[in-house]
Amino acid sequence: MNKKILLGLFAVAALALNSAAFAGAKTYQVTGPVVDVTDKMITVMKGNDKWEIDRDSATKVPGDVKVGDKVTINYTMTAKDVEVKTEKAAKGEKADASPAASPKKK
C-alpha cells in the first residue's frame, strides 16, 4: 500500500478518535415500560427501580408515549449547581481568616 495513503488514513483515524473524546457528556440509556408520563417527565421501570427522566420541548419523541409502552430513553447527566467545600483549616487557624487579616509577628 502506498505510504502516503496509509499515513492519510492514520491521520483521519486519529482526528476521528480525538474529536470523539471531546464530543461532550457521555450518553446513557434506560429501557423499560413506562409507568408514568407527563409533559415534564417520563418514568420507566427498570427491574425494581423507577427511573424518572426529565424532558422538555427539545426532547425528541416520535408519536405519543403512553403508560405501558416499552421505551428506550437516551439521556445525559447535567449539573444543576455545584457547591465547593474547602478543606478543614489547619489546627489553630480560623477557617475564615485570610493571611492578610492575620496579625504579623515582629
Residue 80: pLDDT above 60?
A: yes
The predicted-structure confidence for 66-76, as pLDDT tens digits, reads as follows: 999 999 999 99
Q: Amino acid identity of 2?
A: N
Task: Answer whether residue 1 shows pLDDT above 90.
Answer: no
The structure's pTM equals: 0.57
CA distance 49 to 70: 15
Rg of the chain taking only CA atoms, in angstroms: 26
Judging by beta carbons within 10 Å of its beta carbon (0-12, 13-18, 19+), is residue 72 exposed, middle or buried? exposed
Q: Residue 79: phi, psi to the nearest 5?
A: -70, 135
12-62 tens-digit pLDDT: 666 555 545 556 889 999 999 999 999 999 999 999 999 999 999 999 998
pLDDT digits (tens, 9 = 90+) for 94-106: 655 555 555 555 5
Mean pLDDT of the chain: 80
